[in-house]
Structure 1
Amino acid sequence: MQQQGTQALADVAARTNAVIDELKGLEGPLLPILHGVQKEFGCVPRDALPVIADALNLSRAEVHGVVSFYHDYRSEPAGRHVLKLCRAEACQSMGGDAIADRLQELLGISFHETAKDGSVTLEPVYCLGLCACAPSAMLDGVVIGRLDEGKAQEIVAEVRT
């Protein structure tokens, strides 16, 4: 069992080092490396943090601080779809809280969770820049404005297929 864990650590280190080697020449390489690692694994694995820290001569705490500060980095892989729901004031003032509650009910998950079937991850974001069309969301990088019950039902149907 320990050998299997050692192999998994070695695999994470090797794949992380490949990303680092490709991007470390950039000015300010930490964020691009973190994006590359997330693309490679679907998340930023905890075991990748010391590898990144050592390669960039940073402390593990510094790397962890960056990962935990930015909401786009995940410690676990996301679902097949990622639904980002705006929680900023403009969206809240236009009924965003009710839509958020309804989507959580329809999806059966809360913010920062992935459905058990892996179909969707629900994330709160604080402004999508679509304030004039509030409340808004982003599904797999596509913005959706003027969310209402009908659009909520459409989103759920799309992520469940």
Structure 2
Amino acid sequence: MTISGSDVTVESVVRRVVARHREERGALLPVLHALQAELGHVPQEAVPVLAEELNLSRADVHGVVTFYHDFRREPAGRTTVRICRAEACQALGADRLVSYAREAGLPLGETSADGSVTVEQVFCLGNCALGPAVEVNGRLHGRVGPARLGSLLNGTVSS
């Protein structure tokens, strides 16, 4: 499979990334992180190539990709929203944020039909004193209520 209309294939990207990490002990996790950084996700067709390159079984590679929630098997939306569901944020209203996202047609773990937004749950963003916390494209926001989440989803809040 080629990537975004280019002549580059998933296989060639996987082999290049593995070559950069081959000498590392336990290279699978660093390779998966690097693949996701480069491709935006870890495509299914990367699994057999990774298994061959790292001398692992396909089941081992698949198990790691599916066990860790940070690895995506499908591309994320242009905007990624992560809602903290840890205890402190739950106590301060994270459930209202999840409900708001669902009512807006953005269920957790899914990407909007137009590919614009992916909403995910996480279990701590390390911003417990300012919960409920939300991360939008890597930028942390505290004391987020449903109205502010709506603004973040629509791209109308910058801080």
Matches within 5 A, 1:12-161: 12-106=10-104, 108-158=105-155
State the shift of 1:46 in Å: 0.7
2:15 is paired with a residue whose SS is helix
1:81-120 deviation per Cα after TM superposition (whole angstroms, max 9, x unaligned) = 11000111211111110121112323x1201111111111
Poorly superposed stretches of 4+, deviation over 3 Å: none
Number of corresponding residues: 153
Q: CA RMSD in A?
A: 2.2
More helix by percentage:
1
How far apart, CA to CA, are the structure 2 residues paired with 1:15 and 1:128?
31
How far apart, CA to CA, are the structure 2 residues paired with 1:144 and 1:111?
18
Q: TM-score, normalised to structure 1's length?
A: 0.86
How far apart, CA to CA, are the structure 2 residues paired with 1:84 and 1:153?
13
State the shift of 1:26 in Å: 2.0
Q: What is the aligned partner in structure 2 of residue 7 from structure 1?
A: none
Tell me, yes or no, if the aligned pair for 2:76 and 2:111 is still in contact at 8 Å: yes
Structure 2's unaligned 5+ residue stretches are: 3-7
Letter in 2 for 1:115: S
Letter in 2 for 1:74: R
State the shift of 1:49 in Å: 0.7
2:9 is paired with a residue whose SS is helix
